[in-house]
Amino acid sequence: MKAIKRGCLEIFVIWALAGFGLYVAFTPRFEPPGHLYGAIGGGFLISCAWGLVRNSVIALKQRRQIIRCRDGQPPEHGKTYAADGPLVLLKDPLLAPFTKRACVIHGYEFFHRHTRTLGDGKTRETCFEKDVFLSGYGMAPCAIKTPAGDMQLMGFPVPEAFPEETLNAGTQVCVIGKYDALKKGLIQDFNTGGLEMFPGDTASGIRNLAKRATSGFFFALFLFCLGTAGVGFLLKAREGSEEIRKTLEKRFIQALDANDPVMAEKWLKRGVSPNLIDPSNVAAVFHVTSRGMFMLLRQYGFDPNQPDANGYPPLLNAVQQGRRQIAEWLLEAGANANQMHAGWRVTPLESAYDNADWLMVEMLARAGGRGIVVPIQRQYLTQTDTMDFMPLIRRYWAALEAGNPEEARQVTDGWPADFFKGVARRFYANARPREPAFFAALIQQDAAVVFTTGDSARDLYVHVLKKKAGTWRIARESWDDRGVWRNTLAELE
């Protein structure tokens, strides 16, 4: 019993140590309570693997002992010994409970047997199953007949790998156990594997123990891998669930907003993408407030050219939001200075120009940005409609008011299909002044920027025009909501 208690305690200690190690390893990688469940389950599997290794080592020791006994080692008191030979009855034989045959050892089972049908059609087959309620073995007093004399069995050796349910006198067996010189027999000793019986001679026992050790080591390795890599894989799969993914992404955005690189890197290691687009369709990079945090995103694979759900690449988004610092970092990271919106075909330089963000325009121009623009110089400025731009603009505004997409398509250049669908639904009706007035224009060869005023004296609409095949078309349209264009034109006068 002491050996059994010690073995159980050993398993619990290994379980606790392995579980603690897995808990430490899983905690920074997986969302609670998954790391705790993984540590408990994985630790249990590792402790089972340890038990199999321990049993395999005992089997190898028993195998070596059988070999030594086969080679002539005499029995010593208190040491493991293996005896092989025929079974000899010392008293009356037992009667098998059901067959009523005389035997030395018999097994028995009480069970309910029933049939079960699997599959259907051509694959239909019937199998037999049994529900066992009680089972066990019985043994009469016996010994092993050896050249050195009879070796009495003083405990109950569970037969292993015998083809019969009963063992008769004269059956060749090999038994290994602890030798007791006072009792002149083999007794149970769980410290060395207990009292075990194998069919056949010592060669059979050696083969059986070798198979047991090999299969034990194999399944121990399997359980160890299952308790470590297998549990880790399951937890990793759990991390991919929609609920946990959203939780991690939310914490990642919170870490960016708090400028906490330690926590941000923790969530990046947990699999959050540096190219994340939050539920508000804002890219993670626009939550960054420091260069160090931006470099952290780059370290984990940030793509400076990945568009958001609306087709806006990061650089164009940064330009439209006036985020010059982020635009600079994006350009340093390799952002394409001319990457357009998927639908509107507007370059970052054109967007900065339309917003009258001259510092941004200058930075993008140095990075190789291009677009349809006119230099902000006095020589290109005119305050009279010398090119008759106003009929084109009035025609465009009338098309929006009337919900006429074909007319709007004729006066514009390269605008997306979604815009014209909106025109057809009169989405832009009543969105422009009924009588636009010419304010000023910047004209250079085949490009022009025409400014018109609306119902309010402070309204200033900016139309970028392009001459295509000798005909002027509207390439872009914006509104001077901050008054920067108005001030810039005033400085040119």
User: Pairing between strand 105-118 and 166-167?
Assistant: antiparallel
For residue 375, pLDDT over 90 is answered with yes
pTM for the model: 0.64
The rounded distance, in Å, linking the Cα atoms of 106 and 287 is: 77
**In this structure, is residue 232 part of a structural domain?**
no
C-alpha distances in angstroms, 190 versus 5, 9, 64, 159, 174?
11, 15, 17, 16, 18
Task: Provide the pLDDT for residue 162.
Answer: 61
Residue 46 sits in the same domain as residue 190: yes
Three-state DSSP state, 419: helix
Residue 357 sits in the same domain as residue 410: no
The rounded distance, in Å, linking the Cα atoms of 216 and 458 is: 87
Task: Provide the pLDDT for residue 240.
Answer: 81
Residue type for 346, please? V
Residue at which a domain ends, from 366, 394, 426: 366
Residue 83 sits in the same domain as residue 198: yes
Radius of gyration of the chain, Cα coordinates, nearest whole angstrom: 43
Q: What is the pLDDT of residues 292-315, one digit of tens each?
A: 999 999 999 999 999 988 889 999
Residue at which a domain ends, from 217, 250, 284: 217
Residue 288 sits in the same domain as residue 206: no
- What end-to-end distance do the CA atoms of the chain give, in Å? 105
Task: Provide the pLDDT for residue 192.
Answer: 77
- According to DSSP, the residues that pair with 444 across neighbouring strands are 447
Q: What is the pLDDT of residues 263-282, one digit of tens each?
A: 999 999 988 999 999 988 89
C-alpha 463: how far from chain center: 49
The answer for 401, left when phi > 0, alpha when psi is -120 to 50, beta otherwise, is alpha
Q: Which residues are CB-contacts of 428 (< 8 A; sequence separation ≥ 6)? A: 400, 401, 422
**In this structure, is residue 421 part of a structural domain?**
yes
Q: Average pLDDT, stretch 352-377?
A: 95
Q: Provide the residue range defining the domain that includes 249.
A: 242-366
Task: Name the DSSP letter for residue 283.
Answer: B
Q: Which residues are CB-contacts of 415 (< 8 A; sequence separation ≥ 6)? A: 344, 408, 409
For residue 133, pLDDT over 80 is answered with yes
Residue closest to 177 by CA, chosen among 161, 163, 193, 162: 193
Enter the tokens of residue 104. Answer: 């030395």
**In this structure, is residue 231 part of a structural domain?**
no
Enter the tokens of residue 386. Answer: 């010398």
Residue type for 258, please? A
For residue 118, pLDDT over 90 is answered with no
The rounded distance, in Å, linking the Cα atoms of 65 and 84 is: 13
For residue 138, pLDDT over 80 is answered with yes
**In this structure, is residue 88 part of a structural domain?**
yes
Task: Provide the pLDDT for residue 105.
Answer: 87
The rounded distance, in Å, linking the Cα atoms of 445 and 255 is: 50
**In this structure, is residue 372 part of a structural domain?**
no
Number of domains, the chain: 3
| Proportion of the chain above pLDDT 70, given as a percent | 96
| Proportion of the chain above pLDDT 90, given as a percent | 63
Residue 361 sits in the same domain as residue 391: no
Residue 37 sits in the same domain as residue 179: yes
**In this structure, is residue 4 part of a structural domain?**
no
Three-state DSSP state, 339: coil
Residue 361 sits in the same domain as residue 390: no
What's the CATH number where 451 sits?
3.10.450.50
- According to DSSP, the residues that pair with 453 across neighbouring strands are 437
Task: Provide the pLDDT for residue 1.
Answer: 60
> Per the omega criterion (within 30 degrees of 0), is the bond before 33 cis?
yes
The answer to whether 423 touches 405, Cβ cutoff 8 Å, is yes
The answer to whether 175 touches 196, Cβ cutoff 8 Å, is yes
Pairwise pLDDT comparison (268 vs 98), residue with the higher score: 268
Residue 357 sits in the same domain as residue 387: no
Three-state DSSP state, 205: helix
Residue 132 sits in the same domain as residue 62: yes
Q: What is the pLDDT of residues 208-236, one digit of tens each?
A: 999 999 999 999 999 999 999 999 999 88
The rounded distance, in Å, linking the Cα atoms of 332 and 319 is: 15
**In this structure, is residue 15 part of a structural domain?**
no
The answer to whether 138 touches 157, Cβ cutoff 8 Å, is no
Task: Provide the pLDDT for residue 481.
Answer: 85
Task: Provide the pLDDT for residue 120.
Answer: 67
The answer to whether 174 touches 209, Cβ cutoff 8 Å, is no
Residue 101 sits in the same domain as residue 166: yes
Task: Name the DSSP letter for residue 346.
Answer: -
Enter the tokens of residue 324. Answer: 């010059």
Residue 302 sits in the same domain as residue 390: no
C-alpha distances in angstroms, 83 versus 193, 212, 356?
15, 19, 100
For residue 99, pLDDT over 90 is answered with no
Helices vs. strands in the chain: H and E counts, helices first: 15, 17
Residue at which a domain ends, from 315, 344, 366: 366
Among the ranges given (174-178, 191-195, 241-245, 470-474), the one the predictor scored with the smallest mean pLDDT: 191-195
Task: Provide the pLDDT for residue 122.
Answer: 65
Q: Average pLDDT, stretch 135-149?
A: 88
The rounded distance, in Å, linking the Cα atoms of 284 and 317 is: 12
What's the CATH number where 274 sits?
1.25.40.20
Among the ranges given (152-161, 415-424, 438-447, 466-475), the one the predictor scored with the smallest mean pLDDT: 152-161
Q: Please give the mean pLDDT across all residues of the chain.
A: 90
Residue closest to 329 by CA, chosen among 281, 283, 370, 260: 283
Task: Provide the pLDDT for residue 56.
Answer: 94
Task: Provide the pLDDT for residue 110.
Answer: 83
**In this structure, is residue 125 part of a structural domain?**
yes
Residue 65 sits in the same domain as residue 190: yes
Task: Provide the pLDDT for residue 158.
Answer: 67
